[in-house]
Amino acid sequence: MKRFASCGFAALLLAGSAVAESKVKMESLPPGVQKTVKQQTQNAKLVGLSKEKEGGQTVYELETMVNGKSRDLTIDSAGTILSVEDEVALDSVPEPARKAIQQKVAAGKITKVEIVTKGPDVSYEAAYTSKSGKKAEYGVNADGTSHK
């Protein structure tokens, strides 16, 4: 099982199923991806780079830290950013989404909350540990409806 902190939600968002992920080095990335990575890490700490196949398409995940919070990007082979996941505080999430997350987690513990931007679509995802100790994720739209 992938560790949440190191892989974010991109695989779940884009593929909806398990994907093979492999770490890659900057010099092995296509030129467009290298350019995007360099732009996106000017004011961020590079944490990791990986490559995966999703729906027959190769995508790259850039993991960074900005001001102590995670920021993960999924990039296509041409260097276009497909999605961005920014770690945020739960209290910054719209009230309907926050309430839906809190209701789902119930007596469990929220370990991370992200705002996920994919094109014009914005959603919110929480990683949590259930009362029984199981790690899980839950995603909602701003109005609190589930997006999975």
17, 39, 19: which is closest to 29 by C-alpha? 39
Give 2-27 pLDDT, tens digit per residue: 333 334 444 344 444 445 789 999 99
Q: Tell me what pLDDT residue 147 has.
A: 79
Give 54-108 pLDDT, tens digit per residue: 888 999 999 999 999 999 999 999 999 999 999 999 999 999 999 999 999 999 9
Q: Tell me what pLDDT residue 65 has.
A: 97
Q: Which domains does the chain have, with CATH numbers?
A: 1-82 (3.10.450.360), 89-148 (3.10.450)
**Structure pTM?**
0.81
